[in-house]
Amino acid sequence: MQGIATRRVSYTANTLTEREAGTDPKALFDRWMNDARASHDRIHRVAPTVLLPPEQGWFGTVDRETGQPSGTPAVVESSDDEGLVLRLALGNRAAAHLRDNPRAAFSFFWPDLQRQVRFEGLAELLDSMDPQPLAGSAPLAVEGPAKVRGIALSAAEAVAYSDELLHAYLLAVHEAYARLHTEQPDLPQIDPFAMRLATARPIEPQGGSLDGEREFGPSQRVVLVKNGPGDPGILFFTNYQGRKGRDLAANPLAAVSLECPLIGRALEFEGTVDQVLRTRSVAYFLTRDWQSRVGAWASNQSEVIFGRPELLLKAIGYALRFAPQGGPPCPPHWGGYTVSPTACWQRELGQVANATLDASPDGAMRVRLHPEAWEFWQGRKSRMHDRLRYELAGVAGYRRERLSP
């Protein structure tokens, strides 16, 4: 478990500038999907069980009564001007949630490219038994023959959570990837302990609430599991003042998904979230490299910034400030959270590579997500990541903003 807590991944040289991104989020998404498919195909030829198919993401909803976010694997099968058509894995709670609260989130994570795309918007249930794309929709833009690949997922099976269950899973993943990189050292570095995290923030209903109840809007991102020996629950570290920190301060509930095609298993959790002791946060922070510690001070996570130079200038200022002290201390706004699962599910998974999806099995769901916001995340060295967010601004189209990582 110690190797999990201290694992580091080198970031690629990929960037995301405003010029590269352009003003149309769908066009950028199509380009990134093409990149993900090309990268997946290269890796799949030599290591077919390392990556999830690039079309597979994670769909999130919220229980309106409790504020508990929930997530399930989903495959995007087509897109049009109205949004994305998704097919959800069996064993999810999305249908019940969407009847009371149509707000939803969806995200992709392509670890080989160190990229994420996150969507937030309104979702509608479609005909669950029709496997064909809807009229007016089209397969995602892709160079070459259009294809929608998925992964064979068993229905979610409820299991009793224990720290031993989690630790055994993490250890199996750690050992599998250690063997893989010993046997195939030229493969791109992929952090197998990246987990999907969903939170939900209270929002004011449009037109006000007639029954006095709050509504919740989900959001998603990928964070790294950092459990060390003896750590209970699921441990991760972040900026407390960022979007997820603000969500958790208002509503300390989360959903988590760990997926590892290399061992053919996935674990899903829902539970409560608490900040860890300050001493634990400081101890971990001081194991991070010097540049990442500077980045934690320079970044006011999720706040709008004028451009990347603003972030770099702040980093230089903090580097000069802390150099005489031997390095940056742990910021007061930075630390760890523990997710204490109240529910746990597991799935078996296996690759369905280079094949179109078969007809929907009984009970499968399809939804259309109408995005109101798109966010593109490109991993960079020293945690100085690129984040561009496009938010719907009426007839004017989308407003683009750069966010602090």
Report the C-alpha gap between 123 and 264 in whole angstroms. 30
- pLDDT score, position 141: 44
Domain locations in the chain? Answer: 2-403
Q: Is the pLDDT of residue 132 over 70?
A: no
Would you tell me how many other CB atoms lie within 10 Å of the CB of residue 149? 21
Please answer whether residues 349 and 259 qualify as being in contact, where contact means their C-beta atoms are separated by less than 8 angstroms. Answer: yes
Q: What is the value of pTM for the model shown? A: 0.91
Q: Which residues contact 41 (CB under 8 A, 6 or more apart)?
A: none
Report the C-alpha gap between 62 and 70 in whole angstroms. 6
Name residue, tokens 């979610």. 156
Report the C-alpha gap between 1 and 6 in whole angstroms. 9
Q: How far is CA 61 from CA 147, 264, 294, 353, in A?
A: 27, 25, 35, 28
- pLDDT score, position 168: 96
Mean of pLDDT values over 98-126: 95
Between strands 265-275 and 334-352, the pairing is antiparallel
Burial class (CB in 10 A: 0-12, 13-18, 19+), 13: exposed
Q: Please, what is the average pLDDT of the chain?
A: 87
Q: What is the sign, positive or negative, of the torsion defined by CA atoms of 323, 325, 330, 331? A: negative
Q: What angle do CA 352, 353, 356 make, to 5 degrees?
A: 75
Q: Which residues contact 78 (CB under 8 A, 6 or more apart)?
A: 84, 85, 133, 134, 137, 138, 139, 140, 148
Q: How far is CA 327 from CA 40, 156, 296, in A?
A: 39, 46, 12
Q: Is the pLDDT of residue 139 over 70?
A: no
Report the topology of domain 2-403.
Pnp Oxidase; Chain A (2.30.110)
Q: Is the pLDDT of residue 2 over 80?
A: no
Q: What does the pLDDT look like over 331-368, one tens digit per residue?
A: 999 999 999 999 999 998 775 433 333 334 445 688 99
What are the two backbone dihedrals, phi and then psi, of residue 396, each rounded to the nearest 5 degrees?
-75, -5
What are the two backbone dihedrals, phi and then psi, of residue 96, each rounded to the nearest 5 degrees?
-65, -40
Q: What is the sign, positive or negative, of the torsion defined by CA atoms of 310, 239, 242, 104? A: positive
What are the two backbone dihedrals, phi and then psi, of residue 121, each rounded to the nearest 5 degrees?
175, -155
Report the C-alpha gap between 148 and 356 in whole angstroms. 5
What are the two backbone dihedrals, phi and then psi, of residue 335, each rounded to the nearest 5 degrees?
175, -165
**Among 358, 339, 332, 323, CA closest to 148:** 358
Task: Express the helix, strand and coil content of the chain in percent, nearest 5 each.
Answer: 25, 35, 40
Between strands 69-80 and 56-62, the pairing is antiparallel
Q: Which residues contact 13 (CB under 8 A, 6 or more apart)?
A: none
CA atoms within 13 A of residue 191's CA, in its CB half-sphere: 24
- pLDDT score, position 95: 86
Q: What does the pLDDT look like over 287-346, one tens digit per residue?
A: 999 999 999 999 999 999 999 999 999 999 999 999 999 899 999 999 999 999 999 999
Q: What does the pLDDT look like over 164-217, one tens digit per residue?
A: 999 999 999 999 999 998 999 888 888 889 999 999 998 876 655 555 567 899
Q: How remote is the C-alpha of 268 from its chain's centroid?
A: 13
Please answer whether residues 272 and 252 qualify as being in contact, where contact means their C-beta atoms are separated by less than 8 angstroms. Answer: yes
Q: How far is CA 98 from CA 37, 93, 124, 208, 372, in A?
A: 30, 9, 7, 19, 16
